[in-house]
Amino acid sequence: METQGRIVFRSLLFPTDFSPFNERLARCLPNFKALGVEEILLVNVVEVGPQIGFASDTFENVLAWKDDAEPRLKALQRDLEGSGFKARWRLEFGKPAPAIVELAEAEGVSLIAMGTHGHGFLKGIMLGSVTHDVVRYAKVPVFVLKVEAVQGLGTTDCEFVCQHIFRRVLLPTDFSPLAHEAERLVIAMRSTGLSDVVLLHVRDDSHTDGRASDEQAEERLTRIQEEFEFFGIKITVIVCFGNPAKKIEEIADEQDVSLIVIGAHSRSAVADVLLGSVSDHVVCRHVRPVLVVRSNNSQRSVM
């Protein structure tokens, strides 16, 4: 990430399962030019069990999948190249979420972009559960685009919330080093034309250990506000009390933000008990796109 120039992310990994929803999600990818993305790596993962190579019918199914996947990936590659990106593609075997996380690390991509549905959105989309696991374990930031169910004339269609993504950003902060990483990233996003940020600090009285005092919080919020204003970014500061996850939802709606940028630590197998964290809740339930930020010092996670 280069905070002083145009580049925020140079390369992006985009997993696809070739569903109609995912194909339409691909139409959102040109938005990432504004973040400096130059190269997109496409990946399709086929989930196979240990019987592969032993049962001929399973192997034949895999070959059929390969024959079907390759032209689809090549077609999407051509579309992206026509939009000015460098594009490559990969076919992978295994469980989708671990394969995506491992490929992102092996290829050194700087961002993963995936789709999912929030509360009230289409249910039963396979990619939703995969996205959730990728968000929990990835070492790089994950941009989660949302799918909205649209009812009409007895049919269900979908729309992606990707228009004007960078219009107005909600930035929750707890003043942690990870929250500071999110602040730096949002400042770098001014290259997208971003001019309006809502800075949110939620006082959660149910967790008092290590909590900043009112005076400390005011000083830190003032410092952050001054930094954003120095870079020409309009900022609205909101302080409220309650459950952080629920307040983020409420404020995002009230302020009509187009994107939520939130920090989250990569998980290890031991850290699975952390289910239900603020970032998990926001990614899974909110209808707006979410950019999950990682620390530059993230430790290797195990799936």
169-293 folds as Rossmann fold (3.40.50)
Cα angle for residues 278, 281, 286 (degrees, 5° grid): 120
Least confident of 36-45, 192-201, 234-243, 276-285: 276-285
In this prediction, residue 301 carries a pLDDT of 37
Task: Convert the pLDDT of each residue in 204-223 to its tens digit.
Answer: 766 555 456 788 899 999 99
For the record, the structure tokens of 195 come out as 């001019």
Q: Which tokens belong to 246?
A: 């629920």
What residue spans in the chain does CATH classification 3.40.50.620 cover?
11-51+60-160, 169-293
The average pLDDT across 37-66 equals 76
Q: Classify strands 196-203 and 234-241 as parallel, antiparallel or unpaired.
A: parallel
Using CA atoms, how far apart are residues 176 and 182, in angstroms rounded to an integer?
Answer: 10
Question: Which of the four pLDDT bands, split at 50, 70 and 90, describes residue 62?
Answer: confident
Which residue type does 172 have? P
Determine the pLDDT at residue 296. 59
- Residue 146 near residue 117 (C-beta atoms within 8 A): yes
Mean pLDDT of the chain: 80
- What is the Rg, in whole angstroms, of the alpha carbon atoms belonging to the chain? 20
> pLDDT tens across 152-199, in order?
444 444 455 566 788 899 999 999 888 999 999 999 998 888 889 999
- Which pLDDT belongs to residue 4? 43
Higher pLDDT, 81 or 4: 81
Question: What backbone phi and psi angles, to 5 degrees, belong to 46?
Answer: -100, 130
- The number of beta carbons lying within 10 Å of the beta carbon of residue 281 is 18
SS3 of residue 295 by DSSP? coil
Q: Does domain 11-51+60-160 have CATH number 1.10.287.1770?
A: no
Segment 30-39 mean pLDDT: 92
Average pLDDT on 225-234 reads 95
CA dihedral 19, 121, 129, 63 (to 10 degrees): -10
pLDDT number for residue 57? 56
Residue 119 banded pLDDT, cuts 50, 70, 90 = very low
Query: Is 6 or 271 the better-scoring residue by pLDDT?
Result: 6
Q: Determine the pLDDT at residue 165.
A: 86
pLDDT in tens, 264-293: 865 543 343 333 478 777 887 777 889 999
Q: How far apart are CA 62 and CA 228, in angstroms?
A: 51
Name the residue with higher pLDDT: 251 or 18.
Answer: 251
240 strand-pairing partners: 202
Contacts of 27 (CB under 8 A, 6+ apart): 160, 162
Three-state secondary structure call for residue 111:
strand
Band of residue 49 on the pLDDT scale cut at 50, 70, 90: low
Q: Determine if the pTM surpasses 0.85.
A: no
More confident residue, 47 or 136: 136
Q: What is the mean pLDDT of residues 5-33?
A: 84
Task: Write the single-letter amino acid at 187.
Answer: I
Q: Please give the structure tokens belonging to residue 22.
A: 């995912």
